[in-house]
Amino acid sequence: SLYFKDDDSRLSFLFGNYITLTNLTQHEISRIIEMHISPINISVHTTNPELRCRMMNNRFAGDCLAALQQFADAGLDIQCQLVLVPGYNDGEELDRSLRDLAALGDAVRSVAAVPVGLTRYRDGLTPLRPFTREEARRVIEQLTAAGDEMLERTGSRVFYPSDEWYILAGLPIPPSEFYEEYAQLENGVGMTALLQEQFADALAQETRVPTDRRVVIATGMAARPQLDAMLDVARQKWPQLQVEVIAIRNDFFGELITVSGLITGGDLMRQLEGVPMDM
């Protein structure tokens, strides 16, 4: 299903997943333009044709970048994703990608950069590693600088690091205003800022006093510090609040996968066994 979804423009329009363009013929590109399928979500990763072919192990992956210009010329809105891999499409290659995407003009509505997710199922695959804290900070600097330039030039930031970069870099999440209309919220861009904003609003409006009920919140390893910080604020209003945040280690996919959305039911049941849920 992953291969099918990543190469089907209809599903991209209907469900918001990102397509690679690697299986589109010129006839299909023309059909997308004729039907004005917009916005269209595209996994770009890099605008270097040779590097894109190597990263995607597809000899046509570089040629299909020309479709971006066709979509832009036709007035389609484009939302892009860059999955960054250290030593491949970061650094100078990232700068190149940001320049090339900016050159497409107003057609590119947003570009989200996310770090590569590495599961424990990598036997026989190309050796890859996660980003270090210093590398994550460099990625944030590059994207922020490019976003600042676009904001000044066009009135929109366009380029956004996903929340994972800030967590990995040990830096605070930007305020909600940074993310404008949350164009790539489901890609993990601005999700934490939105949660913090909604939490603060709800806390200020809540007049009920919590009961003696004990509550457990299960989450991924990455989100735990943010939830703990919000609970500390809530306890200033309600010292008697009994809430515990438990971070679930991802044994199924591997400990490098820390986002909440990829926690499996099995890991939840095993790691919450014996934890009192309600008192």
CA dist., res. 216 & res. 244, Å (int)? 5
DSSP state string for 73-114: HTT--EEEEEEE-TTTTSHHHHHHHHHHHHTTGGGEEEEEEE
Beta-carbon contacts of 279 under 8 Å, excluding residues fewer than 6 positions away, are: 212, 213, 214, 242
Closest among 184, 160, 163 to 77, alpha carbons compared? 184
Count the helices and strands in the chain (H runs, E runs).
11, 6
CA dist., res. 106 & res. 104, Å (int)? 7
Chain length of the chain: 279
**Contact between residue 20 and residue 56 where contact means Cβ atoms under 8 Å apart:** yes
Half-sphere exposure (Cβ direction) of 49: Cα atoms closer than 13 Å = 9
CA dist., res. 228 & res. 99, Å (int)? 38
Beta-carbon contacts of 138 under 8 Å, excluding residues fewer than 6 positions away, are: 90, 91
**Residue carrying the six token digits 């986002």:** 259
Q: What is the pLDDT along the chain (279 residues), one digit of tens a residue?
A: 455 544 565 666 556 678 888 888 888 889 889 988 888 999 999 999 999 999 998 898 998 889 999 999 999 999 999 999 999 999 999 999 999 999 999 999 999 999 999 999 999 999 999 999 999 999 999 999 999 999 999 999 999 999 999 999 999 999 999 999 999 998 899 999 999 999 999 999 999 888 888 899 999 999 999 999 999 999 999 999 999 999 999 999 999 999 999 999 999 999 999 888 765
Closest among 146, 72, 80 to 107, alpha carbons compared? 72
